[in-house]
Amino acid sequence: MRTTWLWLFATLVGLLLLAAPVGAQEAREHFKRGELAYQKGNYSLAVSEWETAYAADPRPRIQYNLYQAYERLGDLSRASAALERYLSTADPEDPHYSDATARMASLKQRLQATGIVLVGGIDGAAIIIGDKEWGRLPRPDRIPVEPGSHRVRVALTGYQDFVADVGVPAGQVVQVQVELRPGSSQTTSAPDGSSSEPGSTSASASSSDLFGGSGDPSTYYIAAAALGGAALISGIWMIERASEYKGCDSRDNFCENGGTVKTQRNVAFGLTALFGIGAVGTLIYGVLTDDSAEPANTAALHCDVTGLGASCGGSF
């Protein structure tokens, strides 16, 4: 019974340690693809890759990168959420932490200052922005909205509905001139007020920052040692089972539990081979991904804002 529990424990430990490097490797691959997409200005793809990387290996600084990508896309709500997740889980000693704290305060101010002001129209007309009612005209104060595109509708019985698709940049207030004309409903579109807002964006956390260059071998060395230990335990069990079965493997001898002992011997042999191969393979992979001989910070992504958008460069 004790040997059976020992076998089950060794199997569970081996499988868990074997699965851990796979998740980290998958996250690293998605993160690098996100870096490449961000450098090319494909922020939507960068978001997709980094979200997948975070799901596989939830490292806080991936959220910092997601914040920057969402900010580039103009989705400040998701940018704010990503930055809050980073600040709530990251180590305060992280190089990006103090910068992220300042950016969070600035981001909240921008979100709070964003809005729409309606000018003109007829008193008593109902105001609907999106699916929410905002009272009636006159409405001289700012109507707070999130950055992005919003459909504004002003309705009054006996007049055509005034409808405007309005782009509201983060931190800005857009004025909408309302014109209500007698008659049946008719859609009128106002000019799109969307624009890009200049701002600085610091370098995103790179894959070398998060994953130790092309690969951190320490995890693989630990996994290889654990698998090797499991192979040793299985090998001892195999020898013990084979020794007990040896006296039964003869026509002159009969063992009541000979079939069970033989099965356990075969299982132990299979486990020894499995763990042994896993240990050797994991060790080899760890050696191949060991970049400790290379200079520190071998890859760094740096992005600067230009007149046409963002330019990013990497040093290797």
The more confidently predicted of residues 171 and 199 is 171
- Encode pLDDT of 161-182 as tens digits: 999 999 888 778 899 999 999 9
Please indicate, yes or no, whether the overall pTM of this predicted structure exceeds 0.75.
no
Question: What residues does 152 pair with on adjacent strands?
Answer: 129, 164
pLDDT of residue 113: 80
Say which residue the tokens 């207030």 belong to.
Answer: 173
Instruction: Tell me the C-alpha distance between 201 and 126, whole Å.
Output: 40
**For residues 110 and 105, what is the distance between their CA atoms, to the nearest angstrom?**
9
How confident is the model at residue 294, as a pLDDT?
40
- pLDDT (tens digit per residue) in 73-86: 878 778 888 999 99
Tell me if 164 sits within 8 A of 176, measured CB to CB: yes
* Strands 300-306 and 132-136, sheet pairing: unpaired
pLDDT band at 221 (very low <50, low <70, confident <90, very high): confident
All structural domains of the chain: 114-178 (2.60.40.1120)
Show contacts of 278-283: CB within 8 Å, 24+ apart. 278/14, 278/18, 278/227, 278/231, 279/224, 279/225, 279/227, 279/228, 279/230, 279/231, 280/224, 282/18, 282/21, 282/220, 282/223, 282/224, 282/227, 283/220, 283/221, 283/224
Whether 200 shows a pLDDT value over 70: the answer reads no
- The 3-state DSSP class for residue 310 equals strand
Is the predicted pLDDT of residue 138 greater than 80, yes or no? yes
**CA 203, CA 314: separation in Å to the nearest integer?**
10
**Cis, bond preceding 147 (omega within 30 deg of 0):** no
When pLDDT is cut at 50, 70 and 90, the band that residue 283 belongs to is confident
